[in-house]
Amino acid sequence: MTMIGPYALAVDDDPIILIGLSAALEDAGYTTIAVSTGDAALAILAEHSHRLVLLVSDVDMPGAINGFALAHHVAEHHAWIRIVVASGRSHPVSGELPLAATFMSKPFTRQMLIDRVGSGSPLAAMTFPAGSVVWETVKQHDGPSGPEPLC
């Protein structure tokens, strides 16, 4: 049986980072929609915002809207969606991010992302009798110098 968790929208113009970001969110229990521009994210939000609970976005992307503007749009029009904005180049100054948004500096590891966004698993909030098997934890493989950066 395939379980579908809450939906997350992942936005990054680097395809390798987007793949890793999507995989990490799926490992955390989210069903992920991945797009490469802020413009594409706006199109997804227009049709599917009622399903989304999380946005994780890069800052610098091609198109008319960057990650900071996307975060403000989501905060204003879809206040129930949690917002995480990440960048290795741009850091927000006062007012660039909505109050409810959080910022992560790149690079970060898969575990750092999961720690920040929490589990999307509907099982995370449930309790089960001792001995029942309900969830298989995806183990992260650490390299010799610790966890590999996700992005």
* 108-151 pLDDT per residue, tens: 888 888 888 887 654 443 333 343 333 222 223 333 444 455 55
pLDDT in tens, 44-67: 999 999 999 999 999 999 999 999
* N-to-C CA span, the chain: 31
Q: Give the CATH number of domain 7-120; options: 3.30.420.40, 3.40.50.1220, 3.40.50.2300, 1.10.8.100.
A: 3.40.50.2300
Query: Global pTM?
Result: 0.78
Looking up tokens 């955390």 gives 28
* H runs (alpha helix) in the chain: 15-27, 38-48, 67-77, 110-117
Q: Which residues on neighbouring strands pair with residue 9, listed in sequence order?
A: 33, 55
* DSSP for residue 126: -
Give the start-to-end residue ranges of the domains of the chain. Answer: 7-120
Judge contact between 83 and 55, C-beta under 8 A.
Answer: yes
More confident residue, 68 or 147: 68
d(CA 114, CA 93): 25
